């Protein structure tokens, strides 16, 4: 799905037409230069003892996992995090050799086999699961130990053994055949909040868990706690590694963290004008006639809709960029198409590029703008773009 092409110059439609992907009605453009820049910014921000894990779960937050993985590893990330075994296999099939941590829980025989076969690294969330993994590797006569990562729950109440039981849990895993403890980690629930109280409580609990493990004479090669927000919020949370997702894609987890480092958004969402026409005053537009033209209007149809991941709930509230100007989307967003009021651009041509997310000229619309309008978070906006949209890499 990925093709490597330079960004077309916006002003020059003839040049633009020569690109093979001109025929695309809509696509997600991925700026690998920005991705690489963000990773380097993070690496500079971290001390030399702290590694960067790039979190590339959910198809790299919708950016395309194999291409993203190659770029972030080249730019200085040490390893990768994914949510599921198939996501890990996809990276291996794409030629990625770096360590890959499965952040989700894995239980079944098939999953454990695949982990061994593809040299993935599982998260162990409980003594029961640790035994399952060890016993399965024993049953298949797996010869070398596999690196495993121990997950502690310090207050997220999601995966992991309660932090109070860290000592017993780690000791148990250490005694099991076929398992080699590569790290102990936990995950923060409120790192993006301006109020650090709960994060500090989780940090304290993590410290107490580490003390319990140390008291048993067990040495852990790597400790990690921070997501993007915690990475930006407080260097004390960096430990041996940070697990950054959102920040590598160039977005800030919260506005109060924007002054910490400079990031560039990686993803742009673009589509083409497929039809332009004039409608009379009083004409209804789209399903349900939720928009009635207040005057004679020039309208454009654009080949992108909710089946591509444009939220239908933005109907009649969305702006897009066209010729460096903001124009209004009108009427209900349909499955495959949207309509725009382009009365301000009388000579608009079919084939011109509309930017739904990204930059044109001085104007910019970000995933945060959509997230604010929809009362959600930018993470969800990025993950929503469907595979009908090709991911086009630009340098
Ligand atoms: C998704 C995830 C991350 C990355 O979170 P961001 O907020 O996108 O940086 C880190 N750790 C775990 C366990 C995750 O599930």
For 272-291, the pLDDT digits (tens) are 999 999 999 999 999 999 99
16 domain-assigned: no
pLDDT surpassing 90 at residue 166: yes
Q: How many other CB atoms are found less than 10 A from the CB of residue 289?
A: 11
Name the residue at shortest CA distance from atom 3 of ligand 1: 227
**What's the mean pLDDT when you consider all of the chain?**
94
Which of 153, 183, 229, 245 to mutate to test ligand 1, by most ligand atoms within 8 A of the CB atom?
A: 245
Residues 244 and 272 in one domain: no
149 domain-assigned: yes
pLDDT at residue 3 in the model? 46
Helices (H), 188-323: 197-215, 228-233
Residues 165 and 190 in one domain: yes
- Count of domains in the chain? 2
Q: Which residue in the list 57, 185, 252, 270 is annotated as catalytic?
A: 57
For 82-98, the pLDDT digits (tens) are 999 999 999 999 999 99
pLDDT surpassing 60 at residue 204: yes
> Rounded to an integer, what distance in angstroms lies between the CA atom of residue 66 and that of residue 60?
8
pLDDT surpassing 80 at residue 7: no
140 domain-assigned: yes
pLDDT surpassing 80 at residue 178: yes
Residues 227 and 338 in one domain: no
Identify the residues whose C-beta falls under 6 Å from ligand 1. 55, 57, 103, 187, 227-229, 243-246, 253
Does the active-site annotation cover 19? no
Residue 301 Cα, ligand 1 centroid: separation in angstroms? 38
154 domain-assigned: yes
Average pLDDT, stretch 206-225? 97
Residue 244 Cα, ligand 1 centroid: separation in angstroms? 6
Contacts (Cβ under 8 Å, ≥6 apart) of 335: 305, 306, 307
Task: Confirm or deny that 298 is annotated as ligand binding.
Answer: no
Residue 374 — pLDDT band, cuts 50, 70, 90? very high
pLDDT surpassing 70 at residue 233: yes
pLDDT at residue 121 in the model? 98
Percentage, residues of the chain above pLDDT 90: 92
Domain interval for residue 277: 267-365
Does the active-site annotation cover 386? no
Q: How many other CB atoms are found less than 10 A from the CB of residue 106?
A: 21
Residues 277 and 247 in one domain: no
- Closest among 108, 102, 77 to 90, alpha carbons compared: 102
- Report yes or no: 152 and 210 within 8 Å, Cβ to Cβ: no
Residues 221 and 278 in one domain: no
Residues 132 and 200 in one domain: yes
For 124-138, the pLDDT digits (tens) are 999 999 999 999 999
- Closest among 342, 362, 343 to 352, alpha carbons compared: 342
pLDDT at residue 290 in the model? 97
Question: Quick check: helix, strand or coil at residue 73?
Answer: helix
Average pLDDT, stretch 234-245? 98
pLDDT at residue 345 in the model? 97
Residues 130 and 272 in one domain: no
Angle at 132 between CA 127 and CA 138, to 5 degrees: 125
4 domain-assigned: no
pLDDT surpassing 80 at residue 389: yes
Average pLDDT, stretch 253-270? 97
Residues 170 and 296 in one domain: no
376 domain-assigned: no
CATH classification at residue 292: 2.40.37.10
130 domain-assigned: yes
Residue 23 — pLDDT band, cuts 50, 70, 90? low
CATH classification at residue 86: 3.20.20.10
Angle at 204 between CA 185 and CA 45, to 5 degrees: 65
259 domain-assigned: no
Q: Which of 219, 251, 283 is the last residue of a domain?
A: 251
For the CA of 187, the nearest atom of ligand 1: 13
Residues 67 and 160 in one domain: yes
Residues 42 and 146 in one domain: yes
Check residues 104 and 1 and name the one with the higher pLDDT. 104
Residues 180 and 278 in one domain: no
Residue 8 — pLDDT band, cuts 50, 70, 90? very low
Residues 246 and 272 in one domain: no
């Amino acid at each position: 799905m990925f093709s490597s092409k330079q960004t077309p110059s916006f002003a020059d439609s003839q040049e633009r037409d020569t690109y093979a992907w001109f025929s695309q009605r809509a696509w997600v453009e991925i700026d690998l230069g920005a991705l690489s820049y963000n990773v380097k910014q993070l690496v500079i921000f971290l001390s030399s003892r702290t590694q960067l894990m790039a979190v590339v779960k959910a198809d790299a937050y919708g950016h395309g996992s194999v291409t993203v993985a190659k770029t972030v590893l080249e730019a200085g990330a040490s390893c990768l995090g994914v949510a599921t075994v198939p996501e890990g296999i996809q990276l291996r099939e794409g030629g990625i050799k770096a360590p890959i941590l499965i952040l989700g829980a894995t239980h079944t025989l098939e999953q454990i086999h695949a982990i061994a076969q593809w040299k993935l690294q599982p998260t162990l969330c409980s003594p029961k699961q640790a035994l399952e993994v060890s016993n399965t590797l024993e049953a298949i006569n797996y010869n070398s130990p596999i690196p495993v990562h121990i997950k502690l729950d310090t207050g997220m109440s999601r995966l992991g053994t309660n932090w109070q039981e860290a000592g017993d849990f780690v000791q148990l895993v250490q005694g099991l055949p076929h398992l080699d403890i590569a790290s102990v980690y936990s995950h923060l629930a409120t790192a993006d909040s301006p109020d650090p109280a709960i994060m500090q409580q989780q940090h304290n609990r993590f410290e107490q868990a580490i003390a319990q493990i140390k008291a048993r004479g067990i040495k852990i090669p790597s400790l990690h706690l921070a997501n993007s927000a915690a990475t930006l919020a407080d260097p004390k949370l960096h430990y041996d590694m940070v697990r950054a997702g959102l920040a590598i894609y160039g977005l800030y987890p919260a506005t109060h963290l924007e002054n910490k480092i400079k990031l560039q958004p990686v993803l742009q969402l673009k589509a083409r004008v497929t039809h332009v026409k004039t409608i009379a005053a009083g004409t209804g537009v789209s399903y349900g006639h939720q928009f009635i033209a207040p005057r004679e209007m020039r309208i454009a149809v654009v080949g992108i809709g909710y089946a591509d991941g444009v939220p239908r709930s933005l109907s009649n509230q969305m702006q897009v960029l066209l010729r460096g100007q903001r124009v209004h989307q009108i009427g209900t967003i349909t499955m495959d198409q949207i309509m725009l009021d382009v009365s301000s651009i009388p000579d608009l041509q079919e084939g011109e590029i509309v930017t739904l997310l990204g930059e044109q000229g001085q104007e910019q619309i970000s995933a945060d703008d959509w997230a604010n309008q929809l009362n959600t978070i930018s993470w969800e906006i990025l993950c929503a773009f469907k595979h009908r949209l090709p991911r086009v890499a630009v340098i």
